[in-house]
Amino acid sequence: MDCHLDIFFLEAVLNGLLLAGLLALLALGLNLVFGVIDVVWICYAELVMVGMYGIHYAHKGGAPFLLAALLGILLVALAGALLHVLVIRPVLDSAPINQLLVTGGVLFFLQAAATMAFGIEFRNIGIRLGSVNLMDMSFAWSRLLTFAVALGGMLALWLFLTRTYMGTAIRAIAQDRQIMPLMGVDQRKVYLVTSAIGGGLAGLAAALMVLQYDIYPQIGLQFGPLIFMICVLGGLGNMIGGFVAAFIIAQFIAVGGSCFATEWGYAIAFLFFMVAIFIRPQGLFAAKS
Amino acid sequence: MIRFSPAAIIGIVALLLLPFAVRFFFAASEKYYLHLLIQILLWSFIYTGWSLMGRFGLTSLGHGAFTGIGAYTTVLLWNFAGLTPWLGIPVGVVLSVIVALLVGYPCFRLRITGHYFALMTLALTEFVRLCIVGLRDYTGGSLGTQPRRYGDGVSLYAMQFEPDRVLSYYVALALWAFGIWMWLKVDRSMDRYALDAANQDEDAAASVGIDVTREKLKITGLSAAMCALGGAIYGQYQMYIGPDTIAGLGVSLNIVFAVIAGGLWVPLGPTVGAVFTQLLSETLRVGMQGSATLRDWLGSAALALDTAVYGLLLVLFIIYMPKGILGTLMEWRGRRKRIADTAAVARTG
């Protein structure tokens, strides 16, 4: 191992910070859906994958990147709404674990469908934003952009949840599923809107990820477990907690990865997660009991 | 002592004679059909091991870790320390039981259940897979590794039986029978009632004197041990182990889904699940190779078709048939039998 407190260590820490922005955005959509509908979309990372392919092909078809990204976000928002109507709604009243498993079936399906439609090759959208050099460190613009947009997206969601009628209804449903329908809130509509927003956030993450990563059908497996871990660590459904947890986990990955090898960064993060859950089973930042 | 019904005896005899039937009817492709049967039996055993705890609401996504630990420990001890699998497998089993208890104890004490338990065990699976990939100097990383061959291939000392398919079939059959026996033994034990009670209401169960944590740990340890054993034997048969074929999230999800498809609450449910999933993927694969139009249309991507159909079916199963194939069939039969009984009573009464 070669781990010194030098400039490369600082670079790893800062890159970890930038990764955290993306992970926080990814965790946000899953947390929103869980907090409101009480369902874990285990296929969440696969929705991101669908969005990445959508953006890739829209861009290849001639759309400028921003338009392609917008189309991608809409596509995944639609996918989220469809997932809710076709798959989640029929099992809303069955055992919670069935709801988790049913989206696991969707995971298999999306992965295989993507393999059939797009093949197993790694695809790259081919946009290079270059990087910025600061002292001896270098940061990719795509990562800086991701960080900024992720923060912006989270802010926008927060404003939506606190400043609009629909947002207030969503928060109310999350607090009490039984009472709110009696108060005249249309639960079905709230669930549908929440699923679409959750999907839209996955689409936004996809738009940022196509700038940084190659696209392949199994990319969901690379990010999926990580996102769940962050959500659970922050307390499932707790959006602020998920935000903080993303920063902790990203540091383990970035610093661990730079000191040892990439897998070990991830392995240490998972180990930390398990130990942390044993110490605080409700997640590190559980607000509600 | 378990008494066998006439139907069970016929079934056992049929299973014992099956290799000869295969030889008689499919002499040309005997190896292929035996391979299919062996795969089904080995996976059935692993699925049965998972269902021991799955049926009590302990939905673990961590069993891909246990099969991986069993398989890798056995092969690595053989390749690098020359330790025979007769000792290597027990070491692997003990190791995965220790891991299961280490993760299980805090989970059960802190009452981590449902979503949290599933995601917690998912993290364990991912951790073990990353460790396997990370130790690539020994494990071959994501490419996987092979147990070193001993002699001409069939050896008792090295527990290598893969070239002799009929022998492999009996090994797999014995393992499978052991799994079913274990399931029935658990089903008839007091622990089963304790765990059923704990599954329904932990507080109520604890208040009548059930040591919930202890009971859950017992079943988790047993389940992990069986999956580790199954993983190890699977590695010995395949003569190849890879982080995606015997460990990891894919394996965990496959285990859970096959059991749900077959039926979680009946002894042969996991077996039916294994038959169903293996036949599904084989039929689609063979059908694909046979059909030129499909091959031209999909190309090499056709390999993913079985997974796509599989995923779709799982969604449908969980929504419309949560008891699984065998569970639903038995429910129908039970209902018809009840109706017949009532009719008989009505006639005589």
* Residue percentage of chain A with pLDDT more than 90: 22
| Residue B46 is assigned to a structural domain of this protein | yes
What is the pLDDT at residue B294? 67
* Residue B228, pLDDT above cutoff 50: yes
Cβ within 8 Å, pair A270-B298: no
- Is there a domain that residue A182 lies in? yes
List B residues 196-215 in contact with A (Cβ-Cβ < 8 A). Answer: none
Which residues in B222-260 are b (16+ Cβ under 10 Å) and which e?
A: bbbbbbbbbbbbbbbbbbbbbbbbbbbbbbbbbbbbbbb
Domain ranges, residue A273: 7-127+146-279
pLDDT classification of B87: cutoffs 50, 70, 90:
very high
For residue range A197-232, what is the model confidence (pLDDT) as tens digits? 999 999 999 999 988 888 988 888 888 888 988 988
The per-residue pLDDT for range B240-279, each reduced to its tens digit, is 998 888 888 888 988 988 898 888 888 898 999 999 888 8
Q: What is the pLDDT of residue B90?
A: 95
Give domain status of residue A260, yes or no: yes
Asked if pLDDT for residue A171 goes beyond 80, the answer is yes
Give contacts of B110 with chain A, Cβ < 8 Å. 278, 281
Inform me whether the pLDDT recorded for B150 exceeds 70: yes
List the single best residue of B109, B111, B115, B200 to mutate versus A (max A Cβ within 10 A): B115
- Tell me what the mean pLDDT of segment A245-273 comes to: 85
Indicate which CATH number applies to the domain containing A81.
1.10.3470
- Is B1 a member of any domain? no
Task: Look at strands A131-134 and A137-140 and give their pairing.
Answer: antiparallel
Residue B63 lies in a domain: yes
B335: its two tokens? 């209902």
Scanning every residue of chain B, which has its alpha carbon at the shortest distance from the alpha carbon of A257?
B134
Q: Does the pLDDT of residue B286 top 70, yes or no?
A: yes
A119: closest chain B residue by CA: B301
- B4: which DSSP letter? P
Residues of chain A found within 8 Å of residue B250, distances taken between Cβ atoms: 221
Q: Return residues 192-231 of A near B (CB < 8 Å).
A: 217, 221, 224-225, 228-229, 231
pLDDT reading at B284 higher than 80: no
Q: Is the pLDDT of residue A161 over 80?
A: yes
pLDDT band at A110 (very low <50, low <70, confident <90, very high): very high
Which residue from A97, A232, A270 is facing B130, i.e. has the nearest CB?
A270
Average of per-residue pLDDT across A36-41:
86
Residue A167 in domain: yes
Q: Answer whether A122 touches B (CB < 8 Å).
A: no
B131 near A CB under 8 A: yes
How many domains is chain B partitioned into structurally? 1
**In the prediction, which pLDDT does A206 show?**
93
Which burial class, exposed, middle or buried, applies to B48 when counting CB atoms under 10 A from its CB (0-12, 13-18, 19+)?
buried
- Residue A289 in domain: no
Kindly list the residues from chain A whose CB atom is less than 8 angstroms away from the CB atom of residue B103: 274
**CB atoms inside a 10 Å sphere around CB A94:** 13
CB nearest to B126's CB, from A109, A232, A270: A270
Position A204 scores a pLDDT of 93
pLDDT band at A289 (very low <50, low <70, confident <90, very high): very low
Is A42 inside any structural domain? yes
Of B152 and A73, the structure prediction assigns the larger pLDDT to: A73
CA B232 to chain CA centroid, Å, is 12
Q: Is B27 exposed, middle or buried (0-12, 13-18, 19+ CB in 10 A)?
A: exposed
Residue A132 lies in a domain: no
Q: Does B142 touch chain A (CB under 8 A)?
A: no
Report the half-sphere exposure of A231 (CA within 13 A, side-chain side).
29
If pLDDT is split at 50, 70 and 90, which confidence band does B302 have? low
B318 part of a folded domain: yes
Tell me, what's the pLDDT at B297? 66
Sign of dihedral through CA atoms B53, B54, B56, B62? positive
Query: Closest partner residue to B311 among A106, A224, A271, by Cβ?
Result: A106
C-alpha pair distances (Å), A172 with each of A166, A189, A262: 10, 13, 42
Mean pLDDT score across all residues of chain A: 85
Inspect the interface and report whether the beta carbons of A105 and B312 lie closer than 8 Å: yes
Residue B297, in any domain of the structure? yes
Q: Is residue B249 part of a domain?
A: yes
Both tokens of residue A6?
């030098």
| A264 touches B: beta carbon within 8 Å | yes
What's the Cα-to-Cα distance from B9 to each of B13, B16, B305, rounded to whole Å? 6, 11, 38
What is the per-residue pLDDT for B328?
83
pLDDT at B133 exceeding the cut of 70: yes
Rg of chain B (C-alpha set)? 21
A267 touches chain B (CB under 8 A): yes
Phi, psi of B291 (to 5 degrees): -105, 115
| Nearest Cα residue to B226 out of B9, B37, B54, B349 | B54
Least confident piece of the model among A127-141, B34-48, B96-110, B230-244: A127-141
Give the pLDDT of residue B348.
64
Query: How far apart are the CA of A230 and the nearest CA of chain B, in angstroms?
Result: 11
What local confidence, expressed as pLDDT, does residue A288 receive?
Answer: 47
Q: Which residues of A touch B302 (CB under 8 A)?
A: 116
- Give the range among A173-182, A207-216, B97-106, B251-260 with minimum mean pLDDT: A173-182
Is a pLDDT exceeding 70 seen at residue B36?
Answer: yes
In a domain, B94, yes or no: yes
pLDDT in tens, B308-335: 888 888 888 888 888 888 888 888 888 8
* Residue B137 in contact with partner chain A when CB distance is under 8 A: no
* Percentage of chain B modeled with pLDDT above 70: 93
The complex's ipTM works out to 0.82
Q: Which of A104, A120, A273 sits opposite B123 (nearest CB)?
A: A273
Whether A173 and chain B come into contact, CB under 8 Å, resolves to: no
pLDDT of A5: 67
- Please answer whether residues A283 and A234 qualify as being in contact, where contact means their C-beta atoms are separated by less than 8 angstroms: yes
* Mean pLDDT of the region B282-296: 72
- Using the Cβ of B112 and the Cβ atoms of chain A, whether some distance falls under 8 Å is answered with yes
Domain count, chain A: 1
Residue B76 binned pLDDT confidence (cut-offs 50, 70, 90): very high
In this predicted model, which residue has the larger pLDDT, B250 or B56? B56
> Is there a domain that residue B284 lies in?
yes
- pLDDT digit string (tens) for A83-107? 999 999 888 888 777 888 888 889 9
Interface check A270 vs B, CB under 8 A:
yes
Helix H or strand E segment including A13: helix A7-37
Asked if pLDDT for residue A287 goes beyond 60, the answer is: no
pLDDT of residue B201: 87
Domain of residue B317 covers: 6-348
Mean pLDDT of B9-15: 85
Q: Does residue A257 have a pLDDT over 60?
A: yes
Q: Is A152 on the interface with B (CB under 8 A)?
A: no
Please tell me the least confidently modeled range out of A134-138, B60-64, B164-168, B254-258. Answer: A134-138
Q: Does B311 sit within 8 Å of A109, measured CB to CB?
A: yes
Interface check B264 vs A, CB under 8 A? no
